[in-house]
Amino acid sequence: MASSAVLLLILMVVAPTVHGHTHTPGGTPAARFWEAALPDSPMPESIVHLVQKGTDHSPLQQHHSAAMILPNACLGYSYRIICNSPAQQASSVEGLFFRESDMRVGRTMMVALPAFDPAPFLPRKAAERIPFSNLTDALDRFGIAPGSQEAARVGETLSTCREAPLAGEKKACATSLEGVVLSATRMLATSRPLAAAASALPNSGLPRRAYTVQAIKPLGGGGGGSVACHSRAYPYAVYECHMMEGSSEEAYVVSIRGSSGLPTVDMAAVCHFDTSNWIPAHPAFKILGTHPGGSPVCHFLPYADLMFGVKLANNA
């Protein structure tokens, strides 16, 4: 099933495509691929920016720092990571995590997301020509000083991508936008169309304040599984995609609004209902007052992270 879905996706991209969404950087292979694979999901503005940035200012000619959303923050995507100082890290990511019980229309929650300027996407053909496994080669190619903080971040990304998945987890790293979409398609293993979402916040982040939940919508209609793809620190865009098998996760688009006069922001979010294999030192447990295997842990997706779900019949 998965292989046939991927083959169908490739054939769709080769065929002529109709006019795309206004949010898509038309003309690029990545844009055409996205439109064919996800015809009912306009490319998020953050991804549009990274595709266009990679076209106008290629990482192969112009150095882009291997940025992290928050240094050493353990944002919840590598559940086995032990943070260097869990108490400090908990305070730095407090605005990302929330309880499943807080996700109700009319409820108020404290939200804060930091500024983040991730590296741009390389065109798929360019990315496929670059070896992605050796730290020394990566540092030499992009002129990164060995022993520097940036070198350490690049090394951490390579190590994370080499790690075996947790029990019941599917994971893969992708070095192009097309690779991200194909990874999600393989993991979801369905012939149904996919839905995609990203948090619609600027790369300057969201200031820490109380936000009221305006609306909640399960991604794709809910119940069909979801894949989260997170930007990793590298000189060009590298995403780690993963999902847990079974029904232990659910993805949503949550509309939140700050004080009166501020616009509503549509945030991609995921709730983890089984945290039994997470490390006890994970900062989410301190923030939410729970423990491995306890109450669900939910979090928003930072700027330019992606979520994919199965689009069920009669649902957007």
CA 52 to CA 45: how far, in whole Å? 10
Using DSSP, state whether 276 is helix, strand or coil.
coil
Look at residue 107 in the predicted model and tell me its pLDDT.
96
Look at residue 222 in the predicted model and tell me its pLDDT.
74
List pLDDT tens digits, range 94-108: 788 999 999 999 999
| Amino acid in the structure at residue 259 | S
Answer whether residue 20 shows pLDDT above 50: no
Higher-confidence residue of 124 and 65: namely 124
Average pLDDT of the chain to the nearest whole number: 83
CA 208 to CA 52: how far, in whole Å? 29
List pLDDT tens digits, range 231-262: 999 999 999 999 888 778 899 999 999 987 78
Beta strands per DSSP E along 2-155: 97-98, 108-113
Q: What angle do CA 33, 120, 56 make, to 5 degrees?
A: 85
Angle between helices 2-14 and 29-37 (to 10 degrees): 130
Residue closest to 9 by CA, chosen among 230, 189, 169: 189
Lowest mean pLDDT among 8-12, 28-32, 97-101, 163-167: 8-12
CA 79 to CA 169: how far, in whole Å? 11
Look at residue 196 in the predicted model and tell me its pLDDT.
96
Q: Where are the domains of the chain?
A: 2-310
Look at residue 277 in the predicted model and tell me its pLDDT.
81
